[in-house]
Amino acid sequence: MSVTAVTGSASGIGAAVCEKLRAAGHTVIGIDRHQAEVNADLSSPEGRANAAEQVIKLANGKLDGLVCCAGLGVTAPSSSLVVSVNYFGSTELIELLQPALAKGEQPAITVIGSVAASQQVADPHPIIELMLNNDEPAARALADELGQPQIAYSASKYALTVHCRRLAVKTGSTGVRINLVAPGAIETPLHEASKQDPRFGEAVRNFVAPIGRNGQPSEIADAVSFLQSAQASFVHGSIIYVDGGMDAMMRSGKF
């Protein structure tokens, strides 16, 4: 039976992923700040090391899957926290769990990006290079200096996408597949908080996908469940947009 760790398991997309994977027969190890099999704070190197240590222990050193859902939106307490959780909370955990994954059965990683990453494609912000250079203190400092959580958010997801695609090339021969799901607007507590925010609420409410509605967490979990299954055995380094057509709307002529 496949043993899969899922970050952000206590809410929204992560909770839906846990439910779907359990139904598909996986043994799930949830990781979150609270209400999880592994309670850990992914915003710091110490918290990530603690999370990895507990997961490896619970999985007896051999992990078959990892799904990175934990993340913060534009209403986070600070932009530096967005950088630390969204980018380093996934990239460092992946690195720490790679040896256990390399021992797994048909191992696979799925990372939750965002359609918001596309906003950085035309003119990538310099903070992205700091993240890709693994310089967490400098990226955090610049994020807080900018004080624009929407830039920290889209940049963190852009950097995360680039990092994972590079990793797919670098570590493909280990047999650990890695892919991303890029959601559009999904009805979760994170999205609800953005809709209510006095700075961003109106823009978020007016940003409607061509399909005419927001998505449900289970619709993201379906894509994750596919990527974590044997049916996706040749899918590697890919981004699946599950966004009701938002990406197509924003850049139909580019992909």
Q: Does 70 contact ligand NAI by CB under 6 A?
A: yes
Instruction: Report, in Å, the least distance between residue 108 CB and ligand NAI.
Output: 18
Q: Does 114 contact ligand NAI by CB under 6 A?
A: yes
* Residue from the set 80, 179, 188, 229 that interacts with ligand NAI by CB under 6 A: 188
111-136 as b/e, with b when 16 or more CB fall inside 10 Å?
Answer: bbbbbbbbbbeeeebebbebbbeeeb
- Of the pair 111, 168, the CB lying nearest ligand NAI is at 111
- Of the pair 174, 196, the CB lying nearest ligand NAI is at 196
Read off the DSSP letter of residue 117.
Answer: G
Amino acid in the structure at residue 168? A
Instruction: Using DSSP, state whether 96 is helix, strand or coil.
Output: helix
Q: Does 183 contact ligand NAI by CB under 6 A?
A: yes
Q: Does 149 contact ligand NAI by CB under 6 A?
A: no
Stretch that binds ligand NAI, among 98-106, 139-147, 181-189, 225-233 (CB under 6 A): 181-189
φ/ψ of 109, rounded to 5, equals: -120, 135
- DSSP for 162-231? HHHHHHHHHHGGGT-EEEEEEE-SB-SHHHHHHHH-TTTHHHHHH---TTSS-B-HHHHHHHHHHHTSGG
- Of the pair 63, 93, the CB lying nearest ligand NAI is at 93
Could you tell me the CA-to-CA distances from 219 to 13, 147, 156, 186 in Å, in that order? 9, 32, 23, 9
| Contact set for ligand NAI, span 77-106 (CB under 6 A) | 85-86
Cα(25)–Cα(156) distance, integer angstroms: 32
Instruction: Report, in Å, the least distance between residue 30 CB and ligand NAI.
Output: 9
Q: Does 66 contact ligand NAI by CB under 6 A?
A: no
Q: Does 132 contact ligand NAI by CB under 6 A?
A: no
Q: Does 20 contact ligand NAI by CB under 6 A?
A: no
* Residue from the set 61, 147, 189, 210 that interacts with ligand NAI by CB under 6 A: 189
Instruction: Report, in Å, the least distance between residue 72 CB and ligand NAI.
Output: 5
Instruction: Using DSSP, state whether 68 is helix, strand or coil.
Output: strand
Cα(107)–Cα(126) distance, integer angstroms: 33
Q: Does 72 contact ligand NAI by CB under 6 A?
A: yes
Could you tell me the CA-to-CA distances from 192 to 75, 79, 145 in Å, in that order? 10, 19, 26
Q: Which residues are catalytic?
A: 153
Q: Does 8 contact ligand NAI by CB under 6 A?
A: yes
Vertex 200 angle, CA 238 and 250, to 5°: 40
Closest to 42 in 3D by CA, of 15, 3, 68: 68
Q: Does 11 contact ligand NAI by CB under 6 A?
A: yes
Q: Does 222 contact ligand NAI by CB under 6 A?
A: no
Please report, as ranges, the residues that interact with ligand NAI according to CB under 6 A: 8, 10-14, 32-33, 41-43, 69-73, 85-86, 112, 114, 183, 185-186, 188-191
